[in-house]
Amino acid sequence: MSGAIAKRILIILPAVVLAILVQSYFWVPNYDHQTRGNPQRLTQYISASIGDVAIINPILNADSASSEICEKIFDGLIDRDENLKLRGRLATDWKIYEEVYFVVNDDPVWISKGLSTPEAVKEAIERAASSPQPENSFLRNIDHLDILPPCTEERVVSEQEANEQGGEGKEIKIKVSIRYPARIKATLREVNQDFFTQLEPLLGSGYFNQKRLSPYLAIDPPVYDTPERRTAYLSQYLPVVEHNPVIIFNLRRGVRFSDGHEFDADDVRFTYESIMDPANRSPRIPDFEPVKTLEVLDKYRVKITYKRLFQPAITAWGIGILPEHLLNKESLAREARGKNLDPAEFTMRQSDFNKLRPIGTGPFTFVEWRSDQYIKLVRNENYWEGAPHYREFIWRVIPDMLTQELEFYAGATDHYEARVHQVNRLKKDSRFQNFSGLSFSYTYIGYNLRRELFQDKRVRKALTMAINIPDIIQYVLYGEGEATTGPFLKQTEFYNHEVKPLPYDPDGALQLLREAGWERDEQGFLRKGGKYFEFSIITNNGNPYREAILIIAQNAWKKLGMKVSADRVEWSVFLEKHINVGNFDAVVLGWSMGIEPDLYQIWHSSQSGNYQLNFVGYNNPQADDLILKIRQEYDEKKQIEYCHKLHEIIYDDQPYTFLYVGRWTALLDKKIAILERDDQGREIIKRITPTKTGNYSFYFNKWIKFPQDPVFSTGFE
C-alpha cells in the first residue's frame, strides 16, 4: 500500500554479529585514508540501500530501489525543478489545448429552431462568439470550428459470458455497428471542462441528450442487445459530447542513448505502446489508460490526445523513455531465438535488458549488477545536459541500519540517513554536513466511519482534541516533525495554511462528547443509551513511532472515560485481515504523497470498498465533487482554490486525526559540494542545500568530492 510501508528499526543484535560489525569499524579505512591511498575514491559516489533492486526498467519497476537506479539511467520528457515547477527534459517545451466534439441534434424541436444542421449550429456559435454579451465570452476560447460529416464504423467487442455456476464463462464476440451523425469539432486554445455546460443555453436545454442516439447503434447478435450493454456502448463509442485534452511535446534534438543511437519521437511512441501492452504487465497502465491516441507528427514532435478530462496527464510523462531499437518486436524475437525460446511467448519482462544491459539517455550508464551486493554505474560522457562530476555511482545493498551507520563512519559509503533519535548528536559532529526537510508524507489516526460510534463529527473532533500532538512531535519525534491539518503536501500551494489545528483541549473534548449524548457514569466511563464508549485501535508491528502513538492515544482517550484496547499486528496480517477488508475501529497509519493533488483513490466515496484506499469509508458529496473538479481542472489557480476548499472540508469532518509530517535527516561528508562554472568558465563552489523536491540531491550531477574541506565561492557559503 502506497504510503503505509513499515520500516523496521534494529534494536538488539546478537553478540557475535555485533562483534563482527565493531571489528569492521576498525579495519575498514576511514575516509581520509581512502582518498590518500586511492585517489579514484574522490570520483566515486557510494550509496547504500537496505534492499536490492528488482528490475531496471522504468515502465516495469514498482519499488523505490529500482526507481532510484532507473532515474540515473533513464530520462523522461519532463520532471519538476527545485521549486516543484514542471520543466522540460527530453522535451524542450509543450503545448496543452483541447479538442471537443458534439453531435448535431436533428430532433424536430431543433429543426423548428433552425439548429438541426451542422452548418446552422456552426454559424450560431460563430455569431455568438463575436457578440459582446458576457455569457458568450467562453466562446472566444475557440480557435476554430470544423464540421465532421456522418460516417459509419464497426467494432468487434470481446466479452466474457457469465457462468451460471460462477466464475468465468466462455468468450463471446459482439459486433457493434455505429452510424455517426454529423458532428461539430471545436478546437479550444485552453482546456475548458465547462464548455458544454456553458454552450447548452445557447443551443437549448436538452440539446446534448444521449438517449436520442440509441437508433444510431446496432448490436449483433441481437440476443446480446440489452439495455445495460446498449447504454455502455453508447457512452463508450458514441458519446453525444466528448472532451479530448491534447498535449504536443517538442522533443530535444541531438540526444543520444548511451549506445550512441539517437532519441526521437518513435521512442516515445514505443514506450507508451509498451506500457499498454498487456503482455508486459506494466504497473504504469493507470497513468496512461486515459490516452486516446499518440501520434508521431515528425521526428521531434508527438501529439497525445486523451479520452477525457484528466489534469494529472502531463506528469505521467516523467516516465523514463525506452530505446525502441533495443526492445522492439524484432529485437525481442532475436533474443528469444538466442535463448531457444518461443518468440511469440517472449516478453519485455524476460529480456536481459532489465538486468544485464539497460540503456537510456540519463546521466549514468550501466556497468554491472551483482544481486544482493551492488550495482555499478559510470557517468554518461555524452549526456545532453553535461556529464556528472562523479565518474562512478556505486549502489550497495546493506540490509541493516547499524551496519550502514558504521560503514558511513568508516568512509565506505558517502551518505547516511540518520534516525530521529540521532539527529541532535550528529548535527554537532564536525566531520559531516547534515540535512533535513519535510517528508512527502504524513501520519494519522483513521476512524472507521462505518462504525456507529464514529459517525458523529463532534465525536471525531473530541478524539482529536484529547491528543497532545505537540507533545508527540517533541517527545516521540525529538522535534523532527510538524503538525499537519490535511491531505495535501505542506510544501505545495495545494495545502491550505489557513486551516488551523484543533487545540489540545480535553475539557473541550468532553463538552463535545456531552453534546453528542455521551455522559460519564459513577465510575467515570462514558455511556450513551446504556452503551459504553468502547473501541480498539491497531497499528503494524515494527514501527516504534506508530507504536508510541498507539499508547499515547489510548491513554488520552481513557482519561476521557473511553474503554480503549490497543494492539500491534504483523504487517501482512494487518493489511489482509484488517485494513483491506475494513475490519478495524481506529488505526495508526501514514501516507506517502506525490506532488500532484489528485486524492481520488484515498478520499472519493467510490473508492471505499474492500482492497481500496478509502478504507475508512469517508463519504461527503461535496468532497466528491471537489475531488473530481481537481482532476479535471487545468487552471492552476482554480485547482488550488478547489484544493483549499477540500482541505477545509476534510479537516472539519475529521475522518482522520491528522498528526504530523515527519522530517527526513541525512549526513554527507563535509568534502562534498556543488561545482558549477560561470559564463567565463570560472569555478563556483556552493554548499549543498535541500530543495522543495523533498531531498538534498536535486543537483547531484554537479556534486564533487574534494580532497579537503572546500572553500566556497563568495556569496555561496
* pLDDT at residue number 382: 95
Summarised one tens digit per residue, pLDDT across range 364-411 is 999 999 988 999 999 999 999 999 999 999 999 987 778 888 998 888
29 falls in which pLDDT band (50, 70, 90)?
Answer: very low
Alpha-carbon gap, residue 538 to 6, rounded angstroms: 14
* pLDDT at residue number 38: 66
Alpha-carbon gap, residue 116 to 105, rounded angstroms: 6
Whether the pLDDT of residue 76 is over 90: the answer is yes
β pairing state of 392-397 and 44-49: parallel
Whether the pLDDT of residue 358 is over 90: the answer is yes
- Round the CA-based radius of gyration of the chain to a whole number and report it: 30
Summarised one tens digit per residue, pLDDT across range 100-151 is 999 998 888 888 888 889 999 999 999 999 988 888 999 999 999 999 999 9
* pLDDT at residue number 169: 63
Q: What percent of the chain has pLDDT over 70?
A: 93
Q: Write out the H or E segment, with its range, that includes residue 435.
A: strand 432-438
* pLDDT at residue number 627: 92
Summarised one tens digit per residue, pLDDT across range 533-571 is 999 999 988 678 899 999 999 999 999 999 999 999 887
* pLDDT at residue number 157: 87
Q: Which of 11-20, 52-61, 371-380 has the lowest mean pLDDT?
A: 11-20
**Residue 450, Cβ neighbours under 10 Å: how many?**
13
Name the average pLDDT for the chain: 88
- CA distances 140 to 107, 125, 132, 207, 308, Å, are 28, 10, 10, 21, 22
Better pLDDT: 609 or 497: 497
Summarised one tens digit per residue, pLDDT across range 659-717 is 999 988 888 989 999 999 988 888 999 999 888 777 789 999 999 999 989 999 886 66
Summarised one tens digit per residue, pLDDT across range 159-197 is 877 655 555 567 889 999 999 999 999 999 999 988 999
Classify burial at 534, counting beta carbons within 10 Å of its beta carbon; exposed 0-12, middle 13-18, buried 19 or more.
middle
**If you average pLDDT over residues 494-499, what whole number do you get?**
96
- CA distances 315 to 84, 88, 479, 491, Å, are 12, 11, 34, 18
